[in-house]
Amino acid sequence: MIYEEKYKKWLSSSVLSDEEKTELTSLSEKEIEDRFYEDLAFGTGGLRGVMAVGSNRMNVHTVRQATEGLARELLDSQSADRGVVIGYDSRNRSASFARASAEVLSAFGIVAYLFDHLCPTPEVSFAVRHLGCAAGIVITASHNPKEYNGYKVYDSEGTQISPARAARILSFIRAVPLPECSHGAADPSLIRTVGDDVHTAYVDRVLEESTGIEIPADLHVLYTPLHGAGNLPVRRVLSALGVRVTVVEAQEKPNGDFPTVKSPNPENREAFDLAIAYAKEHPVDLILGTDPDSDRLGLVVREKDGAFTVLNGNETGSLLAEFVLRKTAERGMPNDPRIVKTIVTTELVREIATAYGVKTEDVLTGFKYIGDKIKEYEQAGASFLFGLEESYGYLKGTYARDKDAVVAAMLAVELAAECKAEGITLADRLQTIHEKYGYYKEQLLTFTLKGIEGKTRIETLMAHLRALPPLLGERERIDYSKGIGTLPKSDVLKFVFSDGWIAVRPSGTEPKIKFYLAAKGKSAEISEKNLADRIEWVKHTVEMK
């Protein structure tokens, strides 16, 4: 069906409100095309898109369609009797999308366990197994700007669904008409409340991952939840450890408009502007920041001269990995210990793990692949120690199968406590790691290319990069779209050099193409120079195409 026909169908539908129809009639021809030229993609990340009326947007109709597809898939696989747990973050409409999902499931006779409070995404992953559910749904767009929302699906292990499972669910979704859908009336008796008992169980399980570091009374931590769901769980965990925590007041309360930041993303330095301004006037040792669904953690550390340094995801990950490995080694390594990282995450972690006799495994971008490894290790008798990705995602423990900023915040504070007791800073500890293992520098370059034209340009750019002759100093070119080893095929290309690499991939959740750059040198100056050269090459290449 061409976009004009879909537009007219939506405009004449009896299920759309007058407000929704008014929104549609106000659109330009180009806006109509963008909203209806395709349906919002459903993949391993579920749905994610701008909130608005249309088949290519996040709205109650596309949410209901996705949930009906999931319900029919669960019934077909005869696993629906175990129910589905549903959580949501602080974004606008997250609660109403969660309620709509619960209503659709109940209409199919499936019990929906609906959180009665905001919760971190990893808490939903935990709750799936804790409640013995067949699946989980979390309404969130993670760290995306305020106009976005999303719909993520977990399997019975609390891991994001596999590509094969996503394709199966999608086949059921495609049979559901939009915007009407085909389910019957909701059954309120099948919508059960998830309250503080599950939250307490989750917090208790996070606390079991503590390294047991004694917290100095004068350690002062500043925390910003960036108007998201992390506020209460992060503070609850740190309070249990006796940590003195101050919250950035202007960013404490949940607010889907995220009024104090351009984007609620701890990967962006400006997200910490208010926190740094406060810290300059107070004796703050460490600043923590979590995104709206509290699965990503950003750190800002105070240098000895009083200046503040915002760490990138690779730096934080290296610090936490070294800390976890060292504390685990002190207690005695378990059987066949493993670290898991994504293919675009720093190789420094592998160097550190090797020094401790721990194997590092690479997986595709996306924490779901790290979650898959946890299950694989449990079946094989191996031991998962730590998982990380450069995009500020970390996990210690197997209670969840997704990245968790709550446990990462706890580990970061314990590391800061250890450093303070030694009279050093986290920046000093990172320098020590570089001196021992090498100076690694990484940077992410992201280019936003929206709409049909942007999608076409991204495809053209990827084709151009694949067709390039060997680059100067290139040792290997890895095209993950062809399938590498046991990894699934993925639209990722990696240029490998003796002193680092350049990897590129289109985002699976936003209209963006991402370049991951890495360099290693015998000194910080050398690695920074190599990184700067690669940055210039990428910018020139993108501009040319």
Tell which residue, 263, 48, 70, 230, has the closest CA to residue 139. 48
Placement of tokens 């004449």 in the chain? 12
- Answer whether 341's CB lies under 8 Å from 387's CB: yes
- Amino acid making up residue 90: S
Three-state SS across 470-510? CCCCEEEEEEHHHCCCCCCCCCCEEEEECCEEEEEEECCCC
* Strand, helix or coil for residue 13: coil
Distances (CA, A) of 536 to 194, 445, 446, 465, 498: 51, 11, 14, 15, 19
User: Is position 527 annotated as part of the catalytic site?
Assistant: no
Distances (CA, A) of 111 to 88, 156, 197, 440: 17, 14, 18, 49
The DSSP line for 178-209 is TTT-------GGGEEEE-HHHHHHHHHHHHTT
CA separation for the pair 481, 478 (Å, rounded): 9
Give Cβ neighbours of residue 402 (< 8 Å, ≥ 6 apart).
121, 122, 125, 154, 158, 159, 160, 295, 367, 368, 371, 395
- Amino acid making up residue 260: T
Helix ranges (H only) for 81-195 are: 94-107, 121-131, 163-173
Residue 476 token pair: 């290997």
Q: Which of 142, 318, 490, 527 is catalytic?
A: 142
- Answer whether 52's CB lies under 8 Å from 146's CB: no
Distances (CA, A) of 481 to 364, 456, 462, 471, 542: 11, 18, 11, 20, 20
Give Cβ neighbours of residue 397 (< 8 Å, ≥ 6 apart).
205, 206, 208, 209, 407
Residue 86 token pair: 């549903």
Residue 345 token pair: 């995450």
Helix ranges (H only) for 249-312 are: 273-279
* CB half-sphere exposure, 206, CA atoms < 13 A: 33
For the annotated catalytic residues, the residue numbers are 142
